[in-house]
Amino acid sequence: MPLQAIALDHPSVSELLRKYAQTQDKLKSYIVKAECTVFADNLFTTYNRDLTGKWKKNQFLEFRTDGNRAYRGEETWGDANIGIGRTGLTRDKANCRSWLWDGKQYLVSTSWRGDTHSGSLTIYIGRQAHAFGKELALSCQSTFRNDIEGEKIDSFLRKALQRSDKVFVLERKEKVGGSDCYVIEAVTKKYGTHKLWIDPEHGYHIAKSKHRKVNQSGGSRHGAAGSVTYSSSEVVRFEKIEGIWIPMEENGEHGKKTRGGEYSKRKIHTKVIEVALNPDHDALGSFVLNVNNIRNGAEVTIYSDKKRKEYTWQDGQVVDKNGRKVNYLPKKSAGKNKRRLRNTQYEQKAGEVFTSNN
C-alpha cells in the first residue's frame, strides 16, 4: 500500500484534534433545550450519609451562549433533593434554578414551584462576577464537547503531548453506532487515562469517551487519596442542522469509589429537543433576567467584591427594608445595564427561531 494512503488512513493525534476543533469552532453561539434523566446509587458512611441510596430525577435544561455571555436554566423533579426530603416530586412542584452572566453581573436564582417560600436571587458584581461568569460561559460552551479537568479536551491533549505523556492513535478503527471511528488513547501522569472515539462521519465529534483517574492526594477536589473517579459517554444519535453535525442524544455514566468502600454512581440519559444556531441573542433577550420567574418577597443577596448586603425582591426590582428601590450597580455602568433587569418575552420570541427535533 502506498505510504500516502497509510498516512491518510491513520492521521496523527494532532490532525484529529485539529479537525475536532474545527467543528467545535462552528458551535460558538446557540440556544439548546434538552431533557435529562439521572439514575443515582450512593453509599456514604461518613459525610453525606443522608444521600445514601438509589434515586432518580428528571430535568429540563436550557443553555444559551454567544461565546462570552451565558445562561443555564434547569427544572428538576422526581427525587430533586433527597438531602432535604424533596423526593417523588411532579413537574409542577419542580425546583427551578438559573445562572446568568450578562457580561457585567452574575445572577443566580432558585425557587420551588407550588411552595410558599419565595425563593432567592443572588447577584454578584465586580471581580467575583467576572470569575463566576467566565466559569459559566465555559460550562455552557461545553454542551457539544467533552472537557477534562475543566479544560477543552483538545487543549488538554495538546498539553499532554508537550508534557511527553503517552498520547497515540490506535492502528485500527473501532465501530461506534455504525460509524468507523479513530481511537485516541492517553495515559497521563497527573490526570489519569483517557480513551476517545473520534467520528469522521459526523464532523469529527467525539462519539464515545472513557476516563479514569486514581487520586493521589486527599486535598484534591475529587476526594481522598486512593479514590478512583471515572466517567464514560456515548452519543446514540447525531443530526445535521444548518450543515453542522450535532450530537442529539447521549448516554453517560460517572462516579467515584473510595478505599473505604464508599461510592457514588450516576447514569445519565440526555436528549436534545430544540436547537437554534447563531440566534439573535439581543433580540431574544437571551441574557436578560426574566423577572417573571422571581416571586415577590424573594430574598436578594448582593455581593460586591468582599461586601455582602441583604435586600428583597418586590414588583420586578430590588428593594430595601423600607420598600425603596436599590440601585446596586456602579454608577458608571448602571445606565447600560438597566435594560438587563426588565421583563422579557423570551419564550414567545425564542419559539420562532428554534429548529424542532422532537
Over the stretch 298-332, which tens digit does the pLDDT of each residue have? 999 999 877 899 999 999 999 999 999 998 877 66
Strand pairing of 30-43 and 120-125? unpaired
Whole-angstrom distance, CA of residue 129 vs CA of residue 107: 8
Query: Residue 84: which pLDDT band, with cuts at 50, 70 and 90?
Result: low
Max Cα distance, the chain (Å): 83
Return the closest-CA partner of residue 62 out of 301, 352, 350: 350
Identify the pLDDT of residue 190: 81
Residue found by looking up cell 434554578 in the block: 97
Domain regions of the chain by residue span: 1-26+151-261, 28-143+265-358
Identify the pLDDT of residue 143: 80
Predicted TM-score (pTM) of this structure = 0.83
Which of 8-12, 47-51, 239-243 has the highest average model confidence (pLDDT)? Answer: 239-243
